[in-house]
Amino acid sequence: MKYESEKAFSAEHAGSEKMKESLIFGMILKVYDRIVFYYENSMFFIVMQRLGHGFGKLAASSSILIFFDREWNIADTWKQSLVFRILASPLRWFRFASQRFSEGVNIAIEESRVLKAIRVFLENLFDMSTRVYGLLFITFSAVFGLLDFTSRNAGMLFGMSEIMKLALFLGGAVLILINRPVKALAEGSIVSKAVFGFFNVSHDAFYDKRTEDAVLNKRFEITAIVTGTALGAMWHFLQPMAFALAVGGIAALVLVLWRYEIGVFAVAGFIPLAPTMALLGLILLTAVSFFIRLFRDKSMKLRSTILDYFVILFGMVLLYSFITSYTPGSSMLALLIHMAFIVFYFILVSTIKTRRQLYFLAALLVLSTTIASLYGLYQLKTVGATSEAWVDTTLFEDIKARVGSTFENPNVLGEYLVLIIPVAIAMLWGQKNWLSKLAILGLTAIMLGCLVYTYSRGAYVGLMLAFALFAVLRDRRFVILGVVGLLMLPFVLPASVINRFASIGNLNDTSSFYRISVWLGSLKLAQDYWLSGIGLGLEPFKLVYPKYSLNAAYAHHSHNIYIQLMIETGIAGLLMFFAIIAVYYKTLLAGFYKTKDKFISTFMIAVASGMAGYLAQGMVENIWYNNRVLLTFWVMLAFGVIAKALITEDNEVSGI
């Protein structure tokens, strides 16, 4: 093992030396060194350094810095408090029931032939012979073709449907002839190495060399034939979308109930791709599977942090806001969504236990976001002219389209990308080989390109703030690169982007004028309902706001998350939100420099930076307007808490 690690280090070192010896890379290093030399010897640097030392001495004694810098060692106090015991009492009763009844339940499940057959099938999914999958494809194509042929009055036409049937039949025949374990096909392939490398997963963790032969079981083959028959009939009688939903729903139900972790990773991976209701259903299914596991497994532990206290209190405020809502019906759905996302936050925090799992989850989120970004760039060429609702066409004649991708709103897409792009950059510190790093840089470039063409000025400012905070906290030398990059932007970016950014604060822009009008009206509304709010969701706002509106007579929300929270939940909700953010940043800033793991520390800086940019955007946008972005907010909170927990694993609650 030691020899292999030394060999890997030598290979990596050799690769680095080759890059340094290359002409282009050497020239870049020389130019960078020269810039650093002139900068460090300039009068500007000397003055800024002295000012920095002066401010540093003042900040060192400030109560604000002390609050964020010192470790908050009150975990034990929190766990022993009366509030914690009250909040944890339902879980204690749940654990008590588990101790009494879980053994009988486990025996019943183990003795169930149906559940045992499903479990054995899933556990051998990649150990099964390709022959099983070949039988599935052949049966599917044969049944589909036979039903399709018998239902036609005219002669058979050779179209796309027939091509698909033939392809499935031939593919199935090839798989039968191969007759090897499915996972053996990935052994040594370039594609598998690239995938394993990107997700930072050990190839040996997937491929067990002891399993050289396929798992042979006639029951698997019979199951494949029955399944293929059922799928062929479903494909014939259902519309393609209905077929996809039915098969996807059944597969999700089986897989998530088998391993709730699959649901956790699926939710994170599908945030930018799936609709809100699909994600909500998957979260609820994951929660059911999670509590089933918690009931059956007596050794399962839950991770608890001081942030939980404020999250639970915030949930209570949301419940009160629903009860006092002007439109209880619509607020009920908003409450369900909020509560489901908060439950997912707790499940996610208690699920990710290792650095590798955290990296894999981040890579999954970045990959799916890149897919959404590619779709956004595709829209740039196909969507045509943008509606005037998104851009003032008289002031910005050169902007023909703004991309919204799967979020269908350029500003919402910008909010989401501001959260994710820093996470993608942090992944560079989790990789050792240059090919994977180049792949990550490529994905980041695609996301940046998509963000540029949202033409969201709030997203531009938010991302710049995120990059600035990341550079200062990670390595101040990045600040120099940032300054150079800013100076180069006018020569790189299209004129339409520069003009859009330069219009920030221009009251001649109808968008800016509209927002100011909405803010003034919303502030008047908040003054009258600051104590209790008017209720969760957009419907109460639409009902009450017209009475306070100025020039902007119609608005879905206040275009400011802080005003919106005050309007919906009252002062209590706004204060709880600020408390969550303050404790979150204290958790990250007091921990990122206390680990030698560069990926974990950089990851903590990245989520803190992305959150800062996102919250800055909240000054000009209701960043919780879109439910999928709201879910991403809770995922980012969980990411920060998980990263801190990986540094100090002393916060698991074993007594509940």
C-alpha to C-alpha distance for 545 and 553, rounded to whole angstroms? 8
Higher pLDDT: 92 or 201? It is 92
Distance CA 140, CA 134 (A): 10
Give the pLDDT band (50/70/90) at residue 154.
very low
Residue 403 shares a structural domain with residue 445: yes
The type of residue at 242 is A
Query: What distance in Å separates the CA atoms of residue 608 and residue 619, rounded to the nearest whole number?
Result: 17
Report which residue type is found at 495: A
With tokens 């879905």, the residue in question is: 556
- The CB density around residue 29, as the number of other CB atoms within 10 Å, is 12
Q: Residues 228, 202: one domain? A: yes
CA dist 536 → 267, 573, 637 (Å): 24, 11, 21
Contacts 24+ apart (CB under 8 A), 519-522: 519/558, 519/559, 519/560, 519/563, 520/550, 521/545, 521/548, 521/549, 521/550, 521/552, 521/555, 522/548, 522/555, 522/558, 522/559, 522/560, 522/563, 522/564, 522/567
Average pLDDT, the chain: 80
Q: Determine the Cα–Cα distance for residues 498 and 488; give it in Å rounded to an integer.
A: 12
Residue 506, classed as helix, strand or coil, is: coil
pLDDT tier, 627 (very low <50, low <70, confident <90, very high otherwise): very high
> pLDDT value at position 8?
44
- DSSP structure class, residue 618: T
pLDDT in tens, 302-314: 888 888 889 999 9
Beta bridge partners of 215: 128
* Contacts (Cβ under 8 Å, ≥6 apart) of 89: none
**Does residue 295 sit within a domain?**
yes
- Tens digits of residue pLDDT in 491-528: 778 777 888 877 776 666 677 778 888 999 999 999 99
490 occurs within a structural domain: no
In a domain, 368, yes or no: yes
What average pLDDT score do residues 152-166 get? 64
Q: In this structure, are 87 and 220 located in the same domain?
A: no
| pLDDT tops 70 at residue 259 | yes
Residue pair 516/507 in contact by the 8 Å Cβ criterion = yes
Fill in the amino acid letter for 298: K
91 and 219 within one domain? no
Regarding whether 426 and 282 lie in a shared domain, the answer is: no
pLDDT at 442: 93
DSSP H or E stretch at residue 55: helix 43-60
Residue 244 in any domain: the answer is: yes
User: In this model, does residue 284 exceed pLDDT 90?
Assistant: yes
Q: Between these two residues, 517 and 208, which has the higher pLDDT value?
A: 517
- pLDDT band per the 50, 70, 90 thresholds, residue 612: very high
Which stretches within 272-326 are classed as H helix?
Answer: 276-296, 307-323
Positive or negative torsion for Cα 313, 319, 323, 324: positive
* pLDDT tens-digit series, residues 430-474: 887 788 889 999 999 999 999 999 988 899 999 999 999 998 888
Q: What is the pLDDT of residues 14-67, one digit of tens each?
A: 444 444 445 555 666 566 566 666 666 767 666 656 665 555 555 555 555 555
* Residues 353-382: tens digit of each pLDDT: 888 899 999 999 999 999 999 999 988 877
Q: Cβ neighbours of residue 375 under 8 Å, at least 6 residues apart?
A: 405, 406
Per the structure, the count of domains in the chain is 3
- Residue 321 confidence class, pLDDT cut points 50, 70, 90: very high
Burial of 291 (0-12, 13-18, 19+ CB in 10 A): middle
C-alpha to C-alpha distance for 635 and 338, rounded to whole angstroms: 13
Number of other CB atoms surrounding residue 579 within 10 Å: 16
Lowest mean pLDDT among 186-190, 529-533, 562-566, 593-597: 186-190
Query: What sign has the CA pseudo-torsion 600, 601, 603, 604?
Result: positive
Provide the pLDDT confidence category of residue 419 given band limits of 50, 70 and 90. very high
Among 40-54, 85-99, 117-131, the range of highest mean pLDDT: 117-131
| Same domain as 642, residue 588 | yes
CB contact at 8 A, 403 and 454: yes
Contact at 8 Å (CB) between 325 and 569?
no
Residue type, 564: Q
Residue 5 above 80 pLDDT? no
- With respect to residue 284, please indicate whether it lies within any of the assigned structural domains: yes
The answer to the question of residue 389 being in a domain is no
Residue, of 396 and 372, whose pLDDT is higher: 372
Better pLDDT: 293 or 57? 293
pLDDT of residue 19: 44
DSSP code, position 476: T
pLDDT at 300: 80
Question: Do residues 562 and 619 share a domain?
Answer: yes
Q: What share of the chain is helix, strand, coil (3-state, %, to 5)?
A: 75, 0, 25
**pLDDT reported for residue 162:** 74
* 252 vs 365: CA distance, rounded Å: 19
Report the 10 Å Cβ neighbour count for 162: 14
- pLDDT value of position 629: 96
Under 8 Å between Cβ of 570 and 533: yes
Closest CA relative to residue 270, chosen from 284, 283, 287: 283
Separation between Cα atoms, residue 69 and residue 589, nearest integer Å:
6
CA distance 471 to 605: 9
| Distance from C-alpha of 583 to C-alpha of 113, rounded to nearest angstrom | 49
Q: At what angle do helices 561-589 and 307-323 cross, to 10 degrees?
A: 170
Number of CB atoms found within 10 A of residue 511's CB = 19
**Measured distance CA(66)–CA(71) in Å, rounded:** 9
Mean pLDDT score, 620-628 = 93
Query: What is the pLDDT averaged over residues 204-225?
Result: 62
Q: How confident is the model at residue 295 (pLDDT cuts 50, 70, 90)?
A: confident
- 283 and 350 part of one domain: no
**Residue ending a domain, choose from 281, 303, 325:** 303
**8 A C-beta contact, residue 396 and residue 510:** no
Last-in-domain residue among 286, 303, 320: 303
Handedness of CA 441, 446, 447, 448 (dihedral sign): positive
Q: Quick check: is 14 in a domain?
A: no
Is pLDDT at 1 greater than 70 in this prediction? no
Question: Which of 457, 445, 459 has its CA nearest to residue 399?
Answer: 457
Residues 247 and 129 in one domain: yes
Q: Round to whole Å and give the CA distance between 430 and 444.
A: 15
Whether residue 318 is found in the same domain as residue 298: no
Q: Which one, of 418, 419, 392, 414, lies nearest residue 403 by Cα? A: 414
Both structure tokens of 505:
């604060």
User: H helices within 507-626, ranges in order?
Assistant: 510-528, 538-544, 561-589, 598-617
Does residue 71 lie within any of the structural domains?
A: no
6 has a pLDDT exceeding 60: no
Higher pLDDT, 541 or 218: 541
Helix (H, G, I), strand (E, B) or coil at 624: coil
Size (the chain), residues: 656
- 164 lies in which domain range? 113-303
Among 303, 332, 359, the domain-final residue is 303
Q: How confident is the model at residue 484 (pLDDT cuts 50, 70, 90)?
A: confident
In this structure, the answer to whether residues 432 and 552 fall within a common structural domain is yes
**CA 55 to chain centroid:** 37
241 and 181 part of one domain: yes
Mean pLDDT to the nearest integer, 285-300: 87
